[in-house]
Amino acid sequence: MIVCPNCNHQNPDAAIQCEACYTPLPAMTTCPHCGASVQTDASFCGQCGSSLEAGSVQVHASAMPPTISPDLEIPDLSVPDPLVSLDPLVSPVSSAPESQPAQSHSGTPDVPPPEATPVPEPIASPPVSSPPASVPTPAEISSKTQLQTQTARLLHVQTNTAIELPANLAVIHIGKPNDRIPPDIDVSGFPNSEIVSRVHADIRVEGDLYYIEDVGSSNGTYINNTPLPPGNRHRLRSGDRVALGKGDKISFLFQVS
């Protein structure tokens, strides 16, 4: 694939211009080291990392000088003395003898207060679970999918006839009845259809994007009066005019709704 330098779109290897923005694409060559495809103006190979410039010199990590000398001696650091000396704490000693309980001023021995009755802890109530979110049914999902589906069609300019593109095909063949590739869109019933080849063009569907390419027709395919080179794809946008053959005798308008 060739990456467009303007919009980073990936194009086929044989493309000459970007199929998304029509910017001319750079030429490609092969890496002499691994054989991968690279651009002719690239300095390094994106596959193996080898330099593509003549006379390039690679610098190895072993040639770099060490940042720290292994013979460097680090002196031992001494622990400084504390600036302030702290005295040990002395607990006060009661002057009353241990065998006699302490008395109050009235001469009555102090009675320790009664122990407090422990208060039972409140019982936490179980958390209330919220109701589960409603799950969409397959019918609702199908209805939403149908609303987002777009419809593409080709409007024949000369007869004002609309042809809807098949929604279940990844490649849609345009042409006339034949024994090799039957057309999905048969244009043999339109006026001047003799200029259309039996296998004329293909429309490729990639998600919501549509691309058209000429598959080797005799009289060519034209997009907005510009010839589409064989091997190139054009991204169709609503309002594009697609002509099968020269002279704009059988042409269509691409529409999306």
* Predicted local confidence at residue 120, as pLDDT: 65
**pLDDT bucket at 44, cuts 50 / 70 / 90:** confident
CA distances, 128 to each of 21, 124, 125, 204 (Å): 58, 12, 9, 55
Does 2 reside within a domain? yes
Does 169 reside within a domain? yes
Residue-wise pLDDT tens digits, 217-247:
999 999 999 999 988 999 999 999 999 998 8
Cβ–Cβ under 8 Å, residues 215 and 221: no
Does 44 reside within a domain? yes
Q: Which whole number is the average pLDDT over 196-210?
A: 94
Does 212 reside within a domain? yes
* Predicted local confidence at residue 124, as pLDDT: 62
> Domain holding 237: CATH number?
2.60.200.20
Beta-strand pair 171-175/185-186: parallel
Q: Sheet containing 152-156: give its strands across.
A: 161-164, 152-156, 251-256, 241-244, 221-223, 226-227
Q: How many domains does the chain have?
A: 2
Does 131 reside within a domain? no
CA angle 52, 54, 57 (to 5 degrees): 90
Give the domain extent around 200.
Answer: 150-256
Say if residue 154's pLDDT is above 60: yes
Does 198 reside within a domain? yes
Does 139 reside within a domain? no
Q: Which whole number is the average pLDDT over 65-93?
A: 57
Residue-wise pLDDT tens digits, 94-122:
444 454 544 544 455 555 666 666 666 66
Does 222 reside within a domain? yes
pTM: 0.45
